[in-house]
Amino acid sequence: MPTAENGPPAGGRSSGMPLALARGRARHLSASGLIVGAWARAFGWITAVLLCLTAAAKLVAVFQAQRVLDQRDAVFAFWTVREVLAVAAALELAVVAVIASKRVSSGFKLASILWLALIFLTYRFALYAVGFVGYCHCLGEWTEWMHLPQAKSEVAAKGLLAWLLIGSSALLAVRARVAPGRRGARCAVPESRDG
């Protein structure tokens, strides 16, 4: 029988990579998975804080008496801007709840962030498609509290969207590379089994 020390039998062929190499690769993938897991957790918690802040700002705006919030939304004409802000805040808080849950895999947490980012991106494209010209309330009342001009608030909103979209999709891609073929993996590759 071939082993890692003596190799394949004389005249025989090896059926795969040597056991020592396989163990080394498994340890490398496991370490890489742990690093990716740490980055995913940090990204998740930073995202949770940002989403809590923007959801809180949206909810403050929802309860303020501003006429602009009672106008029909440019994309969802059957809702007012106030109602769209409330729905957006609810979605953000739902994703925060997923991120905070200990029962959910890191892959699902990243996928929920990506899902939210794609919703926001689709909304942005829809605003562009309908020819909307004006101020997007994406950040709630933060822009007014910080006395940001409209151009800078748009840059901040697009920056947050880029953070959500690029961060979640990049971490999901790296996670899939580190632990290929494992659905719902938590980024760590299991230790190899000795026979």
More confident: 144 or 73: 73
Q: Taking phi first (over 0 means left), then psi (-120 to 50 degrees means alpha), and beta for anything else, what does residue 140 get? A: left
Domain ranges of the chain: 20-178
In this model, does residue 16 exceed pLDDT 90?
no
Alpha helices in the chain (DSSP H): 19-62, 81-100, 106-129, 142-145, 150-178
Within the chain, how many helices (H) and strands (E) appear? Answer: 5, 0
- The rounded percent of the chain whose pLDDT value lies above 70 is 70
- For residue 3, the 8-state DSSP code is B
- What pairs with residue 72 in β-bridges? 80
In this structure, what token pair is assigned to residue 75?
A: 């994309």
Q: What's the mean per-residue pLDDT of the chain?
A: 78
pLDDT of res. 133: 80
DSSP 3-state assignment of 72?
A: strand
Alpha helices in 130-149 (DSSP H): 142-145
By the 10 Å C-beta count (0-12 exposed, 13-18 middle, 19+ buried), 128 is classed as: exposed
Greatest Cα pair distance, the chain, in angstroms, is 86
In this model, does residue 178 exceed pLDDT 80?
no
Interval 151-161: pLDDT, tens? 788 888 899 99
- The rounded percent of the chain whose pLDDT value lies above 90 is 38
pLDDT of res. 67: 79
In this structure, what token pair is assigned to residue 168?
A: 């979640």
CA 55 – CA 164 distance, rounded (Å): 15
CA 183 – CA 178 distance, rounded (Å): 12
Placement of tokens 């919703």 in the chain: 119
Placement of tokens 């805040």 in the chain: 89
pLDDT of res. 18: 55
pLDDT of res. 194: 40
Judge whether 92 and 47 are in contact, CB under 8 Å.
no
Region 139-146 average pLDDT: 68
Give me the count of residues in the chain: 195
pLDDT of res. 152: 80
